[in-house]
Structure 1
Amino acid sequence: MASGFGFHGGVPRCFAFWQEFSKCYAQSDTPSQCRPHADDYLECLHHTNEIARAKAIKAEFVRKAEHQAHEGRKAADILADGVIVGVGLIQRSGEGQGK
């Protein structure tokens, strides 16, 4: 950002945040007043909050997938214990007579 030009020429992506921060810093009495502007600029540069949010979403997705796999494994174990499950191809006596 030292030159003021983006990677492919023109205005860099975070230049607007930098202008807001520098304007605030020039007009304020204490630098702590400009902390929100500095945070916005640093987020634009490094994407720390965005990365943390993406990691949290991925962790939740993995947790749910593991839970579903565990529940599926329980159902498969029940079926593997010898319980006969009908698929509805053959009607047994007493089934379907009310139709």
Structure 2
Amino acid sequence: MSSGYGQYGGVGRCFPFWQEVLACYVVNTSAENDGAGKKKCAVALEDYYECLHHKKEHARAVAMQAAYNRRGATSGDDTPSASQIRNLGLLGKEEDTKKVIGES
């Protein structure tokens, strides 16, 4: 919320973005420029809305999932299993890491 308090007390997740938007409006708007200064704050406002709603992040995740599904449908047996991916970089699991990276 723009009150500055988060769900569990303390500073809210998006409050710093809201402060940035307000600071931009204070600096860039006046009675003389008839709202032309508000256009300068579009980037800060877009960041604030993204923090609130995560629309770009969600769209990116959907696109990545679709690309992964397309790749999975066209690839052969060389696709690493989920357990191999989970084991990347773990001690004693070097064989799985080599299979995923493609080293022999």
Query: What TM-score does the superposition give when structure 1 sets the normalisation length?
Result: 0.66
Unaligned runs of at least 5 residues, structure 1: 73-99
Counterparts of residues 30-41 of structure 1 (less than 5 Å): 30-41=37-48
* Cα-to-partner distance string for 1:46-72 (whole Å, 9 max, x where unaligned): 01111011011000000011112xx56
Query: What TM-score does the superposition give when structure 2 sets the normalisation length?
Result: 0.63
* Cα-to-partner distance string for 1:8-61 (whole Å, 9 max, x where unaligned): 000001111000110001110321110000000000000111101101100000
Cα pair distance change 1:15/1:2, threshold 3 Å: closer
Query: Are 1:44 and 2:56 counterparts?
Result: no
1:3, CA displacement in angstroms?
3.5
Q: C-alpha root-mean-square deviation of aligned residues, in Å?
A: 1.4
Q: How many residues align?
A: 70
Counterparts of residues 1-99 of structure 1 (less than 5 Å): 1-29=1-29, 30-68=37-75
- Structure 1 ranges of 4+ moved more than 3 A: none
**Residue identity in the other structure for 1:28:** N
Identity of aligned residues (%): 44
